Amino acid sequence: MSVEHFKAKCAEWERQKELIRVTQASERELRMEILKEAFGDNSIGSLKIMRGGITIKGTFGIEHKIDTKAFANALASDSIPDEAMDGIRTKYELDKKGYDNLDHDLQLILDDFITSKPTMPTLEIKYDDSDD
């Protein structure tokens, strides 16, 4: 491959990368608008509706993360019972299944170190040709 051809490929790659960045942001915005119009706010789980001959399915979730610095400090001060560690992976990642299986009092101890935020929802669109 010639140097000119290589440079052209690199320039095209950069152009494509920028296009992806711009279109990805636009896609996310449109996805959120469609999902909000179809399902409103504060949805969790998989939802499906039929609207104007289009089946819309939205899957909504919550991302759970642990504040690793605060948790490490709490561990260093020995303020977290060993039993509560069943809800924590060794990399200080929240083990949501283990956390959900803990007694409520142990969950309350861990709650000071957990932050939660919505995940990016998914969107599927299927056109029904019979409803024009």
Please state the domain extents for the chain: 3-61+118-127, 68-112
- State mean pLDDT over 98-126: 92
Q: Please report which confidence band the pLDDT of residue 116 belongs to, taking 50, 70 and 90 as the band edges.
A: very high
pLDDT higher for 58 or 91?
Answer: 58
Q: pTM for the whole thing? A: 0.59
Query: What residue ranges in 5-132 does DSSP mark as E strands?
Result: 45-51, 54-60, 62-66, 114-118, 122-127
Distances (CA, A) of 9 to 19, 21, 24, 50: 15, 18, 22, 44
Q: Please report which confidence band the pLDDT of residue 131 belongs to, taking 50, 70 and 90 as the band edges.
A: low
- State mean pLDDT over 72-80: 91
The per-residue pLDDT for range 103-112, each reduced to its tens digit, is: 999 999 999 9
Mean pLDDT of the chain: 90
